[in-house]
Structure 1
């Protein structure tokens, strides 16, 4: 049961996943095997389906339940757990770049913008996300596995890492789940559209 709001939300979710460097690299490098691209599509559908639970069937057709639509069906912790679990189970990767919570926050913000747009129409918000995703797709995202690899900073610019140090810089940092180590989290940067930007971890 889709509504115009759900269809717009779905477009935004796809764009946000396209803007997630960790997932982009996991799919490109086939961390999830030959079906990595299909797993990304499946993740998008799972996220959309979870929020589609707010749609109710009425004699006039499906619509968002006004009494519950303002409250997202999932909260930030549930979303973050879902994203983390999928990356671990489907791509055998742990995300150490601090991007999971900002992505979950952006999905919730997108939902609220679509359900009850305030400063500007939700169509403009989603359109801006899709343009950003298209730009990032053209630029590409580089992965790092250490040792002089090319990495990408928060501005999408490539830089050369030092070849002999043990620093775990780079966005994103994908490591096997069993090697995941806690790291200090940084405050997210919010762009002019109200969506968070993944930052390059500071050198230690």
Structure 2
């Protein structure tokens, strides 16, 4: 199969950057320096590595892209992503790649617009993670829970009701907890240091 044209490659690069910039696990790993002082450079390298990987292997499956991303997160950011976002990011990358390869600029534009709508939630989560504060309440998810919920249900039931389920990203002695909406981690996140 022929290499992508310059126009397809530029469109694909925009799409890959948009998907990665909306991926809370990667952005938090970079913001918290999980990849060391070169974390931002590693994230920039990942864009090029994904472009190369997708371009040279046009018949990739979600599982193959997911495995590639998991390996990069583990090797470069010392992070095991276990929040379900690897599958979602893989799906988004393949969707953008397929549309760009087919020259479907409108489809890629729609995908980029959808990804851009997640930006404010992720920016808020990153600011909170950097400052060590709990996320601000959002209208679609209600208030953030206290550390000690005050209701008659069990603690795990309360978490499930308030948070919609916990999504976990482990790294050494740290735990990142994100709030999921369907398959998509939307960016509210807490950084909690744990002593093992």
TM-score, scaled to structure 2:
0.66
Match of 1:17 in 2: 20
What is the CA–CA distance in structure 2 between the aligned matches of 1:21 and 1:156, rounded to whole Å? 18
Mapping 1:1-204, distance limit 5 Å:
3-53=6-56, 72-116=58-102, 121-125=106-110, 127-129=112-114, 131-132=116-117, 134-136=119-121, 138-141=123-126, 142-143=128-129, 150-151=134-135, 159-164=143-148, 173-176=168-171, 189=182, 197-198=184-185
What is the CA–CA distance in structure 2 between the aligned matches of 1:154 and 1:43, rounded to whole Å? 31
* Alpha-carbon contact 1:31-1:92 (below 8 Å) kept: yes
RMSD: 3.9
How many corresponding residue pairs? 167
User: How many Å apart are 1:161 and its aligned residue?
Assistant: 3.6
Q: Which has the higher helix share?
A: 2
Q: Kindly tell me: are residues 28 and 7 of structure 1, through their superposed partners in 2, closer, same or farther at Cα, counting changes over 3 Å? A: same
User: How many Å apart are 1:18 and its aligned residue?
Assistant: 0.4
Q: Kindly tell me: are residues 156 and 73 of structure 1, through their superposed partners in 2, closer, same or farther at Cα, counting changes over 3 Å? A: farther
Q: Which consecutive unaligned segments of at least 5 residues does structure 2 have?
A: 149-154, 188-196
TM-score, scaled to structure 1:
0.64
Per-residue Cα deviation, 1:54-112 (whole angstroms, up to 9, x for no partner): 6xxxxxxxxxxxxxxxxx34221111011111111111111121110011011111112
Q: Kindly tell me: are residues 161 and 92 of structure 1, through their superposed partners in 2, closer, same or farther at Cα, counting changes over 3 Å? A: farther
Per-residue Cα deviation, 1:95-142 (whole angstroms, up to 9, x for no partner): 121110011011111112122266x72452354156336545654434
* Alpha-carbon contact 1:15-1:129 (below 8 Å) kept: no
Q: Kindly tell me: are residues 174 and 152 of structure 1, through their superposed partners in 2, closer, same or farther at Cα, counting changes over 3 Å? A: farther
